[in-house]
Amino acid sequence: MNIRRGTYSRIHSIAHSLIILFGLTSCIDTIQLDLKDVGDQIVIEGKLTDDSTGNEILVTKAVDFQLKNDFPPVTDATVTVRDETTNQTEVLTQTYPGVYSIQQLKGISEHQYTLTVQADGNTYTATSTMPARVNFDQLTYESVKRLKTVTQMVAVYQDPASVDNYYRWVLVANRLQSNNVFVRSDVATNGNLVRQTIVDDVEINPGDTITVDMQCLSKTSYDYFNGLMKLQGNNINQGASPTNPQTNLSGGALGHFSAYTSQKRTVVVQ
């Protein structure tokens, strides 16, 4: 399997390459993709879910790949997250170099959250509204015949007809997370009972324990991850040449801040 693991997640854009490190608690992914030259910039990657664990903001710097293959953490940033619905603000504690953990706030559907990062004399902000949760009814799998027979995971859920919905699926095989980025909207499935095949690069075998995290995203977060999926080259509706993913951060930072719901289901492949 093309999978790596670690303690937290991050996204770095550097000259002619992108390393994506973003996932479930205690997991790390690495994906290298071609990007436009972005120079030396601050990178902020954050998530707030309706789960009480793994919510954090990573603040680093993207440096010239030709000079140094390193991503220095920003250890002196002041990082806050504010629930605009309840007016509760949390000043985050740095738990690892460059990693600022959200320990008090828990994501609530339809609440809007504002991230503020002060670093190197600059202020960067982003807002994200957590959508309503769509229930993850079942995780199953099926055999698909291509050049050879492969096993693919299938998420079953009822898509609500009343609103537009945006989904991301993250697959973990035997406690190791895939680096694949896979998102879908309900443009073709609005109001339907959906059996969504999870497109992934992981070879699944009998005896494997597979966990899938179904994430309900805002439209802004969907657009960001869809941009990453296009860069990764597995978007069947890619069309035009891909460009750098659009950030929701002000102030010239790279990365993204997302508030989303998270539901995990696990099966053992027979």
In the chain, the amino acid numbered 235 is: N
Most confident of 1-10, 23-32, 123-132: 123-132
Residue 226 has pLDDT above 90, yes or no: yes
41-49/254-268 β-pairing = parallel
Range of the domain at 120: 10-131+249-258
What pLDDT, on the 0 to 100 scale, is given for residue 198?
95
In a domain? residue 4: no
pLDDT digits (tens, 9 = 90+) for 229-251: 988 875 444 444 445 688 999 99
Q: Which of 50, 13, 63, 65 is nearest to 35 (CA)?
A: 13
In a domain? residue 5: no
pLDDT digits (tens, 9 = 90+) for 77-102: 999 999 999 999 999 999 999 999 99
Q: Which of 101, 37, 32, 46 is nearest to 247 (CA)?
A: 46
pLDDT digits (tens, 9 = 90+) for 38-66: 557 899 999 999 998 899 999 999 865 44
What pLDDT, on the 0 to 100 scale, is given for residue 91?
98
Instruction: Please tell me the distance from the alpha carbon of residue 89 to that of residue 193, in angstroms, as a whole number.
Output: 38
Q: What is the number of domains present in the chain? A: 2
In a domain? residue 3: no
In a domain? residue 1: no
Q: Are residues 73 and 106 in the same domain?
A: yes
